[in-house]
Amino acid sequence: MPRSGRKSKSWYGHGLPYLKVGSLPGHLIVIEGTDGVGRSTQIELLRPWLELQGHAVSNTGWTRSPLLSDTINEAKAGHELTVLTFSLLYAADFADRLEHQIIPALRAGFIVIADRYMYTAFARNMVMGADPAWTRELFGFALVPDLVLYLEIDVETLVPRVLEGKGMDYWESGMHLALGSDIFDSFGRYQGRLIEEYNALAREFGFVAVDARSPVDEIQASLRTEIARYLGTASARPRPAPPPTPVRMHARANARARRGR
């Protein structure tokens, strides 16, 4: 179970014990979904929309840590990463971004939009055969997001979309697991297993599912609706009453006296 943090934030597990977090008035919104589902496109459309409404916005995503991004890309180019090394590299990237990008932005009151989060590691590691308890312990330093929007899709819809877009690559096709006779076959099997894991995570963690089979503009409209609903709810949270000042105390005393007449 997550442990309570400050300002309605909580750690997924053990957190970052060496880091004094302080209050985090910002909002952490995660966009989850499998490879090629269109997360980056939707985030590019969300940011200006939120900024036009007066929100400060910060984006982050997998392998974008200045400390680890080049190392991860070089390691993946060799096609020889084990699940252990794969997981540790991504966890290090995530921890660096959490400490130096996500938490400072939340502390400053930004809306942070994360392209993938710890749930991607949970799904991938399950498919790659890693111990799920170990994976979740490894990512126990993560903050629990305020809102997770899940771009839900099926393999039959995903495959032609990927073929029409950037195409299939080695890792996103699960070629490291030897799941099929060719990259096309492997992609379908690997992504099918990933989607099953994402669907299970969506039920476990209460993701807000958005139908990613729809056109881009319809998906964007759905995402904006869900974010607006969340921000409206967040802004409507009751705030503690200010401490009584001498003027307020005097006014209350007069009001009680009038009611007693």
* Tens of pLDDT, residues 158-180: 999 999 888 888 878 888 888 88
The pLDDT of residue 100? 94
Show the DSSP H helices in the chain as ranges: 39-52, 69-77, 83-97, 103-107, 118-128, 132-138, 155-164, 183-205, 216-235, 246-259
Buried b or exposed e, range 107-125, using 16+ CB within 10 angstroms: eeebbbbbbbbbbbbbbbb
The pLDDT of residue 176? 83
Per-residue pLDDT of the chain (261 residues; tens, 9 = 90+): 343 333 468 999 999 888 888 899 999 999 999 999 999 999 999 999 999 999 999 999 988 888 877 888 787 776 667 889 889 999 999 999 999 999 999 999 999 999 999 999 999 999 999 999 999 999 999 999 999 999 999 999 999 999 988 888 887 888 888 888 899 999 999 999 999 999 999 999 999 999 999 999 999 999 999 999 999 977 554 333 333 333 333 444 444 444 444
pTM higher than 0.75, yes or no? yes
Q: Would you state the torsion angle of the CA atoms of residues 79, 84, 86, 91, taken in this order, to the nearest 10 degrees? A: -170
The pLDDT of residue 177? 86
The pLDDT of residue 8? 67
The pLDDT of residue 79? 62
The pLDDT of residue 245? 37
C-alpha 32/C-alpha 135 separation (Å) is 18
| Domains of the chain and CATH, by start | 9-238 (3.40.50.300)
